[in-house]
Structure 1
Amino acid sequence: MFHLNYIDIHTHKIRKSANIQIVDISERVNVDIEICSHYSMGVHPWFVKEMDLGKKMQNIKSHIDKNSFLAIGECGLDKVCNVDFNIQLKAFKQQINLSEKYHKPLILHIVKSFNEIIQLRIATKAKQKWIVHGFNGSYQIAKQLIDMGFYISFGHKLYQQTSKASKSIKHLPLNRIFLETDNSEFAIEEVYALAAERLNVDVSLVQRQLLLNFIDIFP
C-alpha cells in the first residue's frame, strides 16, 4: 500500500508537491525520464502529422516496457484545433490499439468530441481504463462517461466557481475522479483543497479515495 498524500494524474511539469505525478513528456526532446517518478507519452491531437505518425508510434512503443511508463497520452480528439479530424482519428485509433495490446490506460484530451470518443469506446470494445483529463463539461456528459467506465480528471477550472467543472464535480462519485495540474502554475494541494470544497468533504477523504482510484488503475 502506498502512503502518499497527493496524486497529480496529469501534468506537464515536474513538481515537488505531488507524491505521485504522471508527467506528460510527449513533446519534449531529450527529457531525463529518470527524474520523473511516473510519466506518460502520446500523440496529442494538436500535433498530429500523418507523415511522421508511424515514427511517433514507434517512440511510444520504445517506452512501453519501462517501469515508470504508466499511460498513453495525452491523446484524443479536438474539433477546435486546425488539424484535419480524419488524421486525428487515425492517430487516436492507433493509440487505442497500443493501449489494448500493452494494457496501458489512456489519458484523453477531448474538445467538442465526446460523442465520437464514446462511439469509439463502443466500436473498439476497449477494455483498458480511459481518463478524461481537464474535464469542464456538464454533469450529464460526465455521468454518461462514468456509466461507461471512464474516469474524470478535474484541474484549474475548479478555480472558477461557476464553471461546468465546479458544478458537475458536486454530483459525481469520488471513486471515478482524479485531480491534475496540467500545465498550470497551481500546486496540486490547491486543486485538492478546491475539490474538497466543491464536494463539501474533508480533503483527507479526497486524498484517500483518489489513492484507491490510482491503485485500481495502476495495481
Structure 2
Amino acid sequence: MRILDSHAHLDDALFDIDRDELFESMAQSGIETAIIPGVSPEHWTKQLDVAKQYACPYGLGIHPWFCEDNPERALVQLTDKLNSAIEDPYLVAIGECGLDKIRKDNWDGQIIALEAQLTMAQQLNLPVILHVVKAHNDMLSILKRYSLPRGGVIHGFYGSSEIASEYIKLGFKLGIGGLILKTNARKLKTCVAKLPLDSFLIETDSPAMTPQNAADPRNTPLILQSIITEIANLQKKSSVLISEHAFRNSVQLFDLKLILI
C-alpha cells in the first residue's frame, strides 16, 4: 500500500526532539511523505526548513487562529512568500486557511484573510487547504462565490453527509483523520461509510487530534493505518482499496506526480 499524510504539522516544536526518528518510523511503516501546511508568517521559516530537509510537499497560508483583526500586513507577507516559492514543485497548496467560530473574536479578520487566500488560489492555480470549525454554512456560502479551478480539501472533516455532499459538489475533497477513531463519532462514521472513493484524503493533523487511548500523547502519521482500517470497515471494502484511492486522490489534488516516484 502507498500511504501519505495529507495534513501534518511536522514542523511543530513537539517533534524537535525526535523528528529524524519519526521520519524513519514513517518510512518503515510505508508512509512515503506528509504535506505540511503553513499557519502564519512567524512559522513559515521553520516550516519550509523542515519541508526541505525531509523532502515534504507543503502549503503556505494564514490559519484562522493566527489571523489579526487587520490581516493586511500578513497577507502582503504571504503574497511575497508565495511569489518567491512559486517555482518550487514542493509548494502544492494555499493554506491552511479558513474559518473557526470557536476563535471568533477575530471573525472579521478571518473572513478577510480567507477571501484573500481564495483569490490567491485562483490566481496561482493551486488547491486550498481549509480549516472549518462550526462554520460550514459560512464557508459554503463564501466558496460558492469563487471559481477555484483546483478545488481543495476540507481538513479534519467532522460534518454530516449533507454537508459533505455540498463540499463535494463544489469540487472539494474531505480530509478524514483521527476523529474517525472515536467510538462516539457516529455522525462522522455514518457519513464516511457513504463517501465516494474519489472524495476523501487521509490525514492526522499531527501533533493535534490525538486518538483515544493512544500510547503517544502527540498525534503522529503512524496512526494512518488505523484510519485506513476504520474507513475500510465502515465502507465494507479492503484496506488496500481504501489506501490506493486515498493516495491517488492526494496525488491528483496536490499534483504530486513530479515529486513522488
Flag whether TM exceeds 0.5 (same fold). Answer: yes
Are the aligned partners of 1:41 and 1:74 in contact in 2 as well (CA < 8 Å)? yes
The alpha carbon displacement at 1:202 in A equals 1.0
The alpha carbon displacement at 1:171 in A equals 0.9
2:188 aligns with 165
Tell me the TM-score normalised to structure 2 length. Answer: 0.76
What is the rounded CA distance, in whole Å, between the counterparts of 1:178 and 1:213 in structure 2?
Answer: 6
Pairing 1:8–2:44 present: no
1:191 aligns with 227
The alpha carbon displacement at 1:166 in A equals 1.9
2:212 aligns with none
The alpha carbon displacement at 1:169 in A equals 0.3
CA RMSD of aligned residues (A): 1.9
What is the rounded CA distance, in whole Å, between the counterparts of 1:60 and 1:77 in structure 2?
Answer: 21
Aligned-partner SS, 1:13: coil
Pairing 1:30–2:52 present: no
2:59 aligns with 40
Q: Which of 191-200 and 24-33 deviates more? A: 24-33
Pairing 1:174–2:193 present: no
Residue among 96, 101, 113 paired with 1:74? 96
State how many pairs are aligned.
216
Residue among 147, 155, 158 paired with 1:125? 147
1:103 aligns with 125
2:216 aligns with none
The alpha carbon displacement at 1:131 in A equals 0.4
2:137 aligns with 115
The alpha carbon displacement at 1:211 in A equals 2.5
The alpha carbon displacement at 1:65 in A equals 2.4
Read off the aligned partner of 1:116 and give its amino acid letter.
Answer: D
Identity value in percent: 25
2:87 aligns with 65
2:15 aligns with none
